[in-house]
Amino acid sequence: MTTIGLIGLGIMGSPMARNWLQAGFAVQGFDFNPKRLEELAAAGGTPAGNATEAIRGADIVAMMVPDSPDVLNVLTAPGGVFETAPAGTLVIDFSTIRPDVAADAARQAREHGLRFLDAPVSGGEAGAIAGSLSIMVGGSDEDFAAAAQVFAAVGKTIVHVGPNGAGQTVKAANQLIVAANMQALAEAVLFLEAFGVDMEAAIAVLKGGLAGSAVMEQKATKMVTREFAPGFKVNLHHKDMGIVTAAAREAGVVIPVGALMAQLMASARANGDGDQDHSALLRGVERLSGPASVKPGKAA
């Protein structure tokens, strides 16, 4: 039985761990949230007391943590991956981080005799639960092939997009597109409500036309009902927009919509929506439109 040592059992990591267990992998995982460790144990996994315990004895080390510094800490801290994992271990980073950090992490991993894939995912909590994530993978052909069954247990669209760092570059583009779609949907919802349109009918027909998208499928109802329990937090999308705008500037690519979305995400965060689902961008449209746009009983 292949053992996966998983660092990070949050909104995404926890359902991914369950899918690996259901697929026949052994999972030993660590998270700072005790509730997540209890959930892993209940699903048949092995909770670890710290990251070192999760890494030790694992055939594959997987990471699903919030940001670039977190990934580097898991790799380089005392008792971390570089110190604990034996040579030849395959390390897969499912987090969303800076492309240059991913490429450098892979270089350091090779210096320690390890194999490394950057494999950020898209699909949110719903995709993680369903095992239908899109996974964009950067790394060597051999390492991509070696991880095939690991990816298949949690993903539906799995594509090797290039060398180390390429996975994160594609994910940055993904987050730009998602953010723009999310804002357009938020504006459309408020526009439709202002005219008293039957929202269920309107959303149904929009889903069937060119305006239809995964964003609309997953987020329209959350916006209409103003239920913003996080499937993917504003805080994380704010971080991702920082990644894409910085990378675009470095590459000399002008992304005016991306720059606007970075500001709107920052505004949502500054107004207290950081821990809400990124569909809470709707609240920003309400704030810009004034008190009359806010539905009764729904505070902006």
Residues 242-283: pLDDT tens digits? 999 999 999 999 999 999 999 999 999 999 999 999 999 999
Q: Please tell me the distance from the alpha carbon of residue 259 to that of residue 176, in angstroms, as a whole number.
A: 9
Quick check: helix, strand or coil at residue 179?
helix
Q: Please tell me the distance from the alpha carbon of residue 95 to that of residue 264, in angstroms, as a whole number.
A: 23
For the chain, the residue count is 300
Catalytic residue among 156, 171, 207, 298: 171
CATH number of the structural domain spanning residue 58: 3.40.50.720
In a shared domain, residues 244 and 199? yes
In a shared domain, residues 117 and 209? no
**Nearest residue to 219 via CA among 259, 179, 269:** 179
Q: What is the pLDDT along the chain (300 residues), one digit of tens a residue?
A: 799 999 999 999 999 999 999 999 999 999 999 999 999 999 999 999 999 999 999 999 999 999 999 999 999 999 999 999 999 999 999 999 999 999 999 999 999 999 999 999 999 999 999 999 999 999 999 999 999 999 999 999 999 999 999 999 999 999 999 999 999 999 999 999 999 999 999 999 999 999 999 999 999 999 999 999 999 999 999 999 999 999 999 999 999 999 999 999 999 999 999 999 999 999 999 999 998 787 755 544
Q: Containing domain of residue 75, as a range? A: 3-163
Is residue 96 in a domain? yes
In a shared domain, residues 87 and 230? no
171 catalytic? Reply is yes
Total domains in the chain come to 2
Q: Please tell me the distance from the alpha carbon of residue 184 to that of residue 281, in angstroms, as a whole number.
A: 10
**Nearest residue to 223 via CA among 265, 277, 274:** 277
**Nearest residue to 247 via CA among 139, 171, 180:** 171
Quick check: helix, strand or coil at residue 134?
strand
> For residue 6, which amino acid is it?
L
The alpha carbon torsion through 257, 261, 264, 266 (nearest 10 deg) reads -140
In a shared domain, residues 62 and 193? no
Residue ending a domain, choose from 111, 130, 163: 163
In a shared domain, residues 34 and 85? yes
Characterize the bridge pairing of strands 155-162 and 133-138.
Answer: parallel
